[in-house]
């Protein structure tokens, strides 16, 4: 394999990677595509603030009315050599004063979407443009539920369903959200709420009018309770619990996994108190989850109107509601759950054939060979054509690899450099984002996915590759849509930047589905709704212990944002992976929904020591034997909006300890994984209530804290007692698996009955299997499968 290491094209790539490392983005430097944090607009002495005060009018039948807002400016207050900025009521500053409201009354409404979901809408001014279908919502618009019952209460109005209530108070104006027992979950914050209890100036539910351009943005301020925790917001690499953090939701090339910016921001979060919120907008958002003032959650939304969905329930119920609204992840093809072998980068037909042969020679089960940036004539220069001097017959290559059980994935991106042969064509056909003058905002031409003609042009290029036999397209980048751009949609980047990843994901996923019939892309950037186009991976992780830990936190957060499927570059991306770290990360990678080794070379396991090769092979073989479990759990996630890589509290919401764990996860519903995030021989593991059985040793543990050593696979892996884990005979490719015979392993610490899920790829119908005394209680597949049943002991 030396020709891969010293290939003539590799040196520029390595130099480029080194350059990336040296110039990774520092935050708050006012550079190109720095995330847009609008929070400063809510603490400016030049702006005007309108604070929600009272209910001006209300129609109980339509749950709509008007809020009166009181006008304020910041002023200073000085005491004992300390100065604060405080909000004070002010008169109008417009002339003539007869023409403009000092305290405007503006529309708001509550809409009922389901018995668990309500929609709160409020505007900061006249809305001229007719409402359009939303790309973020699976059906373009939200459904209507008529089960909520109205009652007039003293000083307000209440709507109640089987799962909770919404109360609107008149003066002071509040919206209060309660669960079915009447417990307050959260409520909007009024200026009076903290006036007598704190000296700290706080901004209540309000909107800002900027002095610089008279643009407006909303701040939806809600109460936070003691010990309340906040999770989600997309693939966030910071602390798992977002309480006490400020989170900026703006798609960004994060240049790693240990900073606060995100490839995959999602305007959704859930609370440990029993609710979740979806900010239905594509503008920049800054969420202050009690960072400035611990009792207030300030959702500062760039849009001039608030459109907020609130979901009531436990984590599973909230995720199900959110994904009913924005879409659930469809099932990717079986082969995508196999091992993806990659590096930065394979350059030729010979490289691909050699790697495929080596995988089979070393009996490393694998299903995908990925060509990254090097399959074009010029590395990184996307022209959608295999380099003719290095790929003599691409169609035959793809056909031959498929016969041996391999699909091929190809890299590309939607930015076109001036030297790209396609650059002139794209500009001349007006298929790219423009600036205010009609020129290009960048040196690159950025494909405008809001333009149907651009989508058609692009999908024609992708379709040609798929028809040739390519299995999947890597949907890289997408986070740099020009913020100052003018898009075909007629909107600026303020509204289109965050939507760009969703449009990009959708374009590739839909043409892939049309040509191949399969739901598969490999994407880096997202926005709300992107879960409908699986799957996504975790970006350019550092090759360090802290990089691995951050990747895990991000995967857990991403799963709590509506995404069933997720992957990450095993061993990290930036440099050659240290062997010891690679072995530990492999266990984490092979126990994720999807599995890929990728990054700076070498990534091939045989390029490391013989001992490492054995460890890597053991992790890989474990995954392939577990494929019936993985596939069934994936199907269950697809149907219920659950993540494969699952925070413990999703399954155990009543266990206080489960809400504190950010370095373990459930792999599906029945297996718990505690990766080794350092080079240690054992680690502390928290087990939820019940009994757990070590998958590698068979030792049983009760719930609580334990020090546990891993087996040959370098992670602690346990199975919940009472679970049936289906296995299949080891094969070198999912294409070669024999699904007519499945082994059911019963994990029952006390020898009782056990249950599990099975889903055959031939029909994709999820069914439950029950085992007692090493016998199947009933055959859900009516003889289609030969069952081999045994106990773990």
Which stretches within 469-569 are classed as H helix?
493-496, 500-516, 545-559
Please give, one letter per residue, the 3-state secondary structure of 638-665: HHHCCCCEECHHHHCCCCHHHHHCCCCE
d(CA 693, CA 672): 10
In this structure, the strands spanning 105-114 and 64-79 are: antiparallel
CB neighbourhood size of 347 (10 A): 24
- CA 534 to chain centroid: 10
Give me the residues paired with residue 439 across strands. none
SS3 of residue 612 by DSSP: helix
Residue from 321, 337, 330 nearest 639 by CA: 330
Residues 501 and 529: beta-carbon distance below 8 Å = no
The encoded tokens of residue 46 equal 């030049």
Phi, psi for 709 (deg, rounded to 5): -95, 145
Contacts with 120 (C-beta within 8 Å, 6 or more apart), sequence order:
108, 109, 110, 175, 220, 306, 307, 308, 309, 310
Rg (CA), the chain: 27
- CA 302 to chain centroid: 21
Residues 650 and 232: beta-carbon distance below 8 Å = no
d(CA 561, CA 550): 17
Residue-wise burial string across 146-155, b where 16 or more C-beta atoms lie within 10 A, e elsewhere: eebeeeeeee
Residue from 545, 544, 541, 543 nearest 555 by CA: 541
Contacts with 81 (C-beta within 8 Å, 6 or more apart), sequence order:
none
Q: Omega of the bond prior to 220 within 30 degrees of 0, cis?
A: no
Residues 324 and 639: beta-carbon distance below 8 Å = no
Residues 750 and 772: beta-carbon distance below 8 Å = no
Residues 368 and 471: beta-carbon distance below 8 Å = yes
Residues 575 and 602: beta-carbon distance below 8 Å = no
Q: Which residues are catalytic?
A: 476, 479, 540
d(CA 428, CA 779): 63
Residue from 110, 454, 35 nearest 283 by CA: 35
What DSSP designation does 493 have?
A: H
SS3 of residue 545 by DSSP: helix
The encoded tokens of residue 337 equal 């759950």
Q: What's the helix, strand, coil split of the chain in %, to 5?
A: 25, 30, 45
Residue from 311, 304, 329, 353 nearest 491 by CA: 304
């Amino acid at each position: 394999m030396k020709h891969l290491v010293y290939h003539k094209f590799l040196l520029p790539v390595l130099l480029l990677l080194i350059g990336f490392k040296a110039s990774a983005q520092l935050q708050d430097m006012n550079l190109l595509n720095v995330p847009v944090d609008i929070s400063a607009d809510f603490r400016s002495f030049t702006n005007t603030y309108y604070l929600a005060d009272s209910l001006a009018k209300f129609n109980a039948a339509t749950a709509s009315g008007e809020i009166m807002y009181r006008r304020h400016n910041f002023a200073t207050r000085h005491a004992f050599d300390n100065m604060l900025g405080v909000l004070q009521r002010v008169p109008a500053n417009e002339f003539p004063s007869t023409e403009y409201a000092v305290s405007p009354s503006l529309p708001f409404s509550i809409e009922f979407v389901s018995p668990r979901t309500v929609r709160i809408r409020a505007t900061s001014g006249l809305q001229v443009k007719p409402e359009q279908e939303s790309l973020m919502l699976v059906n373009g618009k939200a459904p209507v539920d008529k089960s909520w019952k109205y009652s007039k209460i003293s000083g307000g109005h209440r709507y109640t369903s089987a799962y909770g209530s919404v109360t609107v108070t008149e003066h002071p104006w509040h919206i209060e959200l309660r669960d079915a027992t009447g417990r307050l979950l959260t409520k909007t914050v009024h200026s009076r709420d903290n006036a007598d209890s704190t000296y700290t100036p706080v901004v209540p539910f309000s909107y800002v009018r900027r002095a610089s351009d008279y643009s407006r943005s909303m701040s939806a301020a809600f109460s936070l309770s003691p010990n309340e925790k906040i999770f989600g917001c997309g693939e966030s690499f910071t602390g798992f619990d977002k309480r006490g953090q400020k989170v900026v939701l703006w798609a960004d090339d994060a240049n790693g996994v240990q900073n606060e910016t995100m490839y995959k921001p999602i305007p959704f979060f859930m609370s440990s108190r029993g609710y979740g919120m979806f900010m239905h907008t594509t503008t920049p958002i800054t969420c202050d989850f009690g960072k400035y003032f611990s009792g207030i959650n300030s959702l500062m939304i760039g849009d001039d109107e608030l459109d907020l969905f609130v979901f009531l329930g436990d984590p599973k119920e909230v995720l199900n509601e959110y994904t009913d609204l924005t879409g659930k992840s469809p099932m990717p093809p079986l082969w995508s759950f196999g091992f993806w072998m990659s590096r930065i980068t394979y350059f030729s037909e010979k490289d691909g054939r050699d790697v495929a042969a080596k995988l089979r020679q070393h009996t490393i089960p694998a299903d995908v060979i990925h060509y990254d940036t090097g399959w074009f004539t010029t590395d990184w220069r996307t022209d959608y054509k295999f380099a003719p001097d290095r790929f003599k017959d691409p169609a035959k290559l793809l056909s031959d690899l498929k016969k041996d059980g391999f699909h091929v994935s190809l890299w590309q991106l939607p930015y076109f450099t001036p030297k790209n042969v396609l650059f002139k064509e794209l500009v001349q056909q007006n298929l790219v984002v423009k600036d205010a003058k009609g020129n290009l905002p960048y040196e690159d031409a950025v494909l405008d996915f809001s333009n149907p003609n651009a989508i058609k042009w692009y999908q024609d290029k992708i379709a040609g590759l798929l028809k040739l036999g390519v299995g999947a397209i890597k949907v890289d980048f997408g986070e740099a849509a020009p913020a100052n751009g003018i898009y075909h949609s007629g909107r600026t980047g303020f509204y289109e930047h965050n939507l760009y990843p969703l449009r990009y994901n959708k374009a590739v996923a839909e043409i892939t589905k049309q040509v191949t019939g399969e739901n598969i892309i490999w994407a880096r950037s997202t926005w709300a709704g992107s879960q409908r186009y699986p799957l996504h991976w975790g970006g350019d992780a550092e090759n360090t212990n802290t990089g691995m830990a951050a990747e895990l936190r991000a995967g857990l957060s991403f799963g709590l944002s509506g995404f069933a499927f997720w992957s990450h570059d095993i061993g990290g991306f930036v440099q050659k992976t240290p062997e010891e770290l690679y072995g530990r990360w492999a266990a984490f990678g092979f126990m994720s929904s999807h599995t890929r080794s990728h990054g700076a070379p070498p990534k091939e396991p045989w390029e490391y020591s013989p001992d490492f090769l054995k460890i890597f092979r053991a992790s890989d073989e474990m995954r392939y034997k577990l494929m019936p479990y993985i596939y069934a759990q994936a199907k269950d996630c697809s149907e219920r909006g659950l993540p494969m890589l699952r925070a413990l509290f999703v399954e155990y919401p009543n266990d206080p300890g489960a809400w504190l764990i950010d370095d373990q996860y459930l792999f599906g519903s029945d297996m718990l994984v505690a990766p080794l995030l350092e080079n240690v021989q054992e680690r502390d593991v928290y087990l939820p209530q019940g009994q757990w059985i070590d998958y590698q040793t068979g030792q049983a543990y009760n719930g609580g804290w334990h020090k546990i050593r891993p087996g040959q696979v370098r992670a602690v892996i346990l199975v919940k007692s009472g679970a049936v884990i289906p296995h299949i005979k080891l094969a070198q490719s999912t294409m070669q698996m024999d699904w007519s015979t499945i082994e059911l392993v019963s994990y029952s610490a006390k020898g009782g009955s056990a249950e599990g899920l099975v889903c055959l790829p031939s029909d994709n119908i999820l069914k439950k299997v029950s085992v007692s005394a090493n016998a199947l209680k009933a055959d859900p597949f009516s003889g289609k499968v030969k069952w081999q049943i045994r106990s773990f002991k």
